[in-house]
Chains A and B, each alone.
Chain A
Amino acid sequence: MSLEKNQPSATTESSTLSHSANPGIQLETFYYDNKTVKLFAYATLFWGLVGMTAGLWAAFSIAYPQVNLGWAPTTFGRMRPVHTNAVIFAFVGNAIFCGVYYSLQRLCKARMWSDRLSKIHFWGWQALILLGAITLWAGFTQGKEYAELEWPLDIALTLLWVVFGANMLGTILKRRVQHLYVAIWFYIGTWVAVAMLHIVNSIAIPTSFLNSYSWYAGVQDALVQWWYGHNAVAFFLTTPFLGLMYYFVPKAANRPIYSYRWSIIHFWSLIFIYIWAGPHHLLYTALPEWAQGLGTVFSIMLIAPSWGGMLNGLLTLRGAWDRVREDATLKFMVVALTCYGMATFEGPMLSLKSVNAISHYTDWTIAHVHVGALGWNGFLAFAMLYWMMPKIFNTKLYSKKWANTHFWLGTLGIIFYVIPLYTAALTQSLMWKKFTPEGILQYQFMETVTTIQPMYVLRGIGGLLYISGLILMIVNLVKTVRSGKLVANEESQAAPLPKNYESHGKKEHWHRWIERRPVQLTVLSLIAVGIGGIAEMVPTFLVKSNIPTISSVKPYTPLELHGRNIYIREGCYTCHSQMIRPFRDEVARYGEYSKAGEFVYDHPFQWGSKRTGPDLARIGGKYPDSWHYNHMLDPTSMTSGSLMPSYPWLFTDRIDKTKTYSMIKAMKKLGVPYPAGYENEANKDIDKQAEKIKQSLAKDKIKVSKNDEIVALIAYLQRMGTDIKNEKKEGSALK
């Protein structure tokens, strides 16, 4: 504060140049906007409950398939994207905005730049979430994890992100504190990175209002997706929360951050390293080895900044540990930081190829991400709300005892969630890899699932504990809010910053306006340049793809394409992978390992990341059509004990052949070599191929209409992974 006293200051923000010589300190009075903070806090609680309940539903539907209800919106494949999107963008998203709107105003000693933008940002974001949930339940999805929202919503998200950025940067520009506290750096870093990731990964060709195909195919799509997917964790779940940590932990502990210097190093090293770690999600896949290595190396390096940050937070509590015993807010923070530390140690370990060989496709990944989500994001958000809500309502927390109970329910919830999943993961992975002395696989896939099924039940109980804690918190905060009154506009005073442009001492020139708004203009122009640049670069680089091609790999037939749309719509990728890694057990179980060239027409790729069910990369031709027919109608009829939901609507809903034209047209635009004018002929081929499947089913005494969706799905399933077999035949025929 003493620094500012020596500086000349202007009376008001609108003061003219002539005031520059005015001596003395004139404090400005201004008001913090607590109303928007309150709204974001309410939204955090509401969507937290919705998103976690969807997660609980999904968890129990794996343990007990009846929970899927035989109704499309409640099946795991649709519930899971609703859960992940709601928890990431709705719960954590609103918590970020809540914390940023609270702390940024106080760190800048300024009200948010524009009340109108705050309003648009808040209501726009809630509308986006609501539409997102509805469309995902209805089956409109781009089929890429955490990026499922269809293109109109992707565009809306981009615009809302710009609104948030403009409001944030506007506030930073009119700040009354010269120094940008480290939390603000984390907020800015978040904004820049998320904007880029979202735009690059979401580029797609629309085929209709709520359907589109990813611009990238196969290996390339996988690389872009996990570059995005990993950084969604990095820049949506981590950097903004670190910013919040750097504000709320010192405030709640009433102690300055342990080392401010560390925090600066933490920020810059973290953002520079994080962006490269994505390929560790694709170890042992068809992604080129050097790219996998790059991802691993950067992932290992991430331990340093991550742990630096964690220790900086924990050491801030030095000398305050006696208070941690009493204060639920601090307890939540300690566990949040500990979970951050555990997750950021585990992450690099899982990026080691030898560990990943065991952990990938198992529940280990799910446990890992929930240590982060429940522990780090959840607990830090709870701590923030417990600390902040009484403040903006000018009252005290209704019940400290309840907050402590919440802490224990949450902590036990996390433990009961993750330990069963770690056990399940190791057990299942080792069973998958086990051979008998005679050299054949010891366990059927189904046996490995039945073994870990009790763990899924325990995991659900952990989730239930965690949610009951959240409900207790909501009740506690409602009672707190009722006992106080919102200070919608909180008065504060500070001296303004000296205006830099006064030192020029020249008359006002048109260019001055730009000089005073450099950041806004830089950012806006960067967005413009970025979008333009990407739009130009993408076609240039992608039309001629240079993945090693396999001559026998041909584009999907239109019927298979319809089937693939159904596969994507039902979220099959949430439980089934399409990527056989080059391991003895996987080749023995699923067939020849997957090659990069097999996926050149896969817009989007559907490699998946989890094997709740078996890999499907070479499912084609493995079973007769009638097997698939019966299996989709009632999985347990073909596989006793199966946890897969049944899909009765596929047997009554019809293939929408009016969409064929735009589907083929879009694929052609993406470089898929269909013959000229094929979009007009495609429906004839659908009839021919569907007729064949109808005949083959008739042989097994099954009657279908050839326009039933199940026919298209069977066509796709029977095609999967078969092209490469044709190559061998071609090869042997030549001999």
Chain B
Amino acid sequence: MSVMLILLGASLVVSLIFLAAFIWSVKDGQYDDDYTPAHQIFFEETQNSK
């Protein structure tokens, strides 16, 4: 099952990208506040937001 190596490799590469993104997001403080973001999407200042 040599193809397993390719799939493992490709899957691991993507997992590592996701892992790096995860570490970045935590370090960047993306998740320090889990209250505001849920509400923030309701603040829109556009000409036709009603």
Contact = CB atoms under 8 A, between A and B. Distances in A.
Contacts, number: 115
Interface of B: 1-7, 9-11, 13-15, 17-18, 21-22, 25, 30-31, 33-48
A130 interface: no
Contacts of A257: 38
Interface in A480-533: 487, 490-494, 526, 530, 533
Dominant secondary structure of chain B at its interface with chain A: helix
A382 B13 CA distance: 35
Nearest to A256: B38
A391 B39 CA distance: 20
A215 to B, nearest CB: 9
Q: Mostly helix, strand, loop or mixed at chain A's interface?
A: helix
Nearest to B31: A264
Given A200-B6, A264-B31, A541-B5, 18 more contacts: A3-B36, A107-B41, A188-B21, A196-B10, A224-B7, A227-B7, A227-B11, A247-B41, A261-B34, A268-B18, A391-B48, A487-B48, A526-B17, A533-B13, A534-B6, A542-B2, A545-B2, A547-B1
Contacts of A491: 46-47
B25 to A, nearest CB: 7
A382 B36 CA distance: 29
Given A260-B35, A537-B6, A272 B15 contact: yes
Contacts of A254: 42
A672 B28 CA distance: 52
A179 interface: yes
Given A251-B41, A260-B38, A275 B11 contact: yes
Nearest to A271: B18
Contact of A180 (B2, B11, B30, B44): B30
A221 B4 CA distance: 11
A541 B41 contact: no
B13 A530 contact: yes
B26 to A, nearest CB: 10
Contacts of B11: 227, 275-276
A172 to B, nearest CB: 12
A260 B10 contact: no
A256 B42 contact: yes
A541 B37 contact: no
Contact of A291 (B1, B9, B45): B1
A321 B37 CA distance: 23
B45 to A, nearest CB: 5
A535 to B, nearest CB: 11
Contacts of B31: 264
A538 to B, nearest CB: 6
A394 interface: yes
A533 B16 CA distance: 15
A177 B31 CA distance: 14
A180 B10 CA distance: 26
B3 A177 contact: no
B5 to A, nearest CB: 5
Closest 4 CB pairs of A and B: A220-B3, A256-B38, A260-B38, A492-B46
